[in-house]
Structure 1
Amino acid sequence: MRWSDFSKLIKLRLTFLVVFSASISYLIGSKVNGVIIWYDWFMLIVGGFLVTSAANCFNEIIEKDLDRLMKRTKDRPIPSGHMTTGQALVLGLGMGISGTYILGSLNILTGLLSVFSILLYAFAYTPLKQKSPIAVFVGAIPGALPPLIGYVAAYGKIDDIALILFGIQFVWQFPHFWAIAWVLDDDYKLAGFRLLPTGKRDRGSAVMTFILTLILLPVSLLPTLYGYGGYFVGGVSLVCSLIFLYQAFNLMRTLQVEAARKLMFGSFFYLPVVQLMFLFDFLGK
């Protein structure tokens, strides 16, 4: 098996973003807990990488026939014939079991959340993508669990900060997903995926994207409003949210693929910047 095939099987860039989000939240939870255990932080990264890779692997096994229909996915290892379904299943199970064991060794709640994340992503979100745009809402839940898992791995329980971290990533995923769905709508239609709010590139989908981006603005300010972050993270979050909102407004105004592409790239920068600023501000308190 080539590295290129393995990286496509586990969706390496997506997996990296997930692990990054969890690792940042772990450091925030460690600050609350009063001590950073670097060995546990490393184990979180390893376990998180394995669990996320397993979820993506199961996703590709389930969608192997659909991946053959889309230009951007037909070169993935299973539809391209570089890997059998059985090989992918063995890899997925191995990574899922080992990753869950590692995360569960940090604390039971972290392990349970990781199992819930795999099940919801692979066996609820994945089949729903062909049935209804509600798939985006369902997918946003496991998509927002990484910061919750990272925080719980350090602190051991769910509190207000954990819910804020979850909330920011949860709301962020709607404009993020819909921007991607807008850009790739022609390709998605080949597989019958229905991810845009109205099912197509129209004013309704653009308005919904704008509304959720607008909701993200006050949600991103929750760390400051609740006193967990200072004016620094609040200011950075406000600026990032306004830029993000402007990009969503341009999509609503023009309904152009290029505007959706700019919103998509804006979403890639938005989340890590806001999370890092929360971390730096929180550590400096």
Structure 2
Amino acid sequence: MPGYFLALPGVIEPSVAAALFVGTFLTSSSAQTMNQMIEVDRDARMKRTAMRPLPSGQLTSNEAARFAATAGAVGLATLGIGTTGSTAAVAATTMVTYAAVYTPLKVRSPYNTHVGAISGSLPTLMGFTAALSTGLCVSPWLPHAAWLFGMQTLWQMPHFYSLAWLHRSDYLKGGYTMFPLSDATGTETAAMSKPYLVALCILPWAMSASGSASWMLPAQFPAAS
């Protein structure tokens, strides 16, 4: 939604804004449901996820599958018809990378976090494409879209590293592969997080230096963070 309001060339179109919000909500719900369908057995072994609808028996796999299919189809149609085809394409890419790439990778490689960070950042572009469609690629808003995407991607790394370290015993029970799981003290996790935190600090200064934002951005960014 911030990208849509930022890049909108004219007045807000309520129908487009509503389609963007509803379509994003539905496609996100579908992707999250598919994730939990794939991980139901692992979720059941973890204290923090054992009470989710599937491992706790509140929903059956068939019910979840019907919901995921319906929400995904309706969400993509809402975005495609109510906003732009580009927005629906970004949403579809998010769903595929999240459920078909990131989720299976969580038990195969500790680099799953990097893939998940990209998948989690793609929706930041949907507002820009809803306002500008493919014109975003040649618009003056492209640096802003890239900045928002980059900020979200970088932020997710220390966020998930810290969560994995705090819940490392649970993650081990679930059979996940994460870098922080072998870190007994948290020192290694902190060291892995620092480059991303430094990059996050540099981003607002780089944006201002490029002329894409005023110098109030780096002044206000630490307070907002």
**Residue 161 (str. 1) matches residue 141 (str. 2):** no
For structure 1, list consecutive stretches of 5 or more residues without a partner in the other structure: 1-22, 241-269, 271-285
* TM-score, normalised with respect to structure 2: 0.90
Change (3 A) 1:28 1:124: same
Aligned partners of 1:113, 1:147: CA distance in 2, in Å?
10
Deviation at 1:35, TM superposition (A): 3.2
Match of 2:191 in 1: 207
Q: Is the deviation greater in 114-123 or in 143-152?
A: 143-152
Match of 1:121 in 2: 98
Match of 2:179 in 1: 196
SS at match of 2:58: coil
**Residue 88 (str. 1) matches residue 64 (str. 2):** yes
For structure 2, list consecutive stretches of 5 or more residues without a partner in the other structure: none
Contact kept? 1:175, 1:209, Cα under 8 Å: yes
Contact kept? 1:198, 1:204, Cα under 8 Å: no
Identity within the alignment, % = 33
Amino acid of the structure 1 residue aligned with 2:192? M
Change (3 A) 1:192 1:200: farther
**Residue 47 (str. 1) matches residue 23 (str. 2):** yes
Match of 1:148 in 2: 125
Q: Which has the higher contact order (CA 8 A, sep 6+)?
A: 2
Deviation at 1:198, TM superposition (A): 7.0
The count of aligned residue pairs is: 217
> What are the within-5 Å matches in structure 2 for residues 239-278 of structure 1?
239-240=223-224, 270=225
Deviation at 1:138, TM superposition (A): 0.4
Amino acid of the structure 2 residue aligned with 1:109? S
Deviation at 1:212, TM superposition (A): 1.1
Amino acid of the structure 2 residue aligned with 1:132? S
Q: Is the deviation greater in 100-109 or in 62-71?
A: 100-109
Aligned partners of 2:158, 2:4: CA distance in 1, in Å?
25
Match of 2:54 in 1: 78
Match of 1:108 in 2: 85
* TM-score, normalised with respect to structure 1: 0.72
Deviation at 1:197, TM superposition (A): 5.3
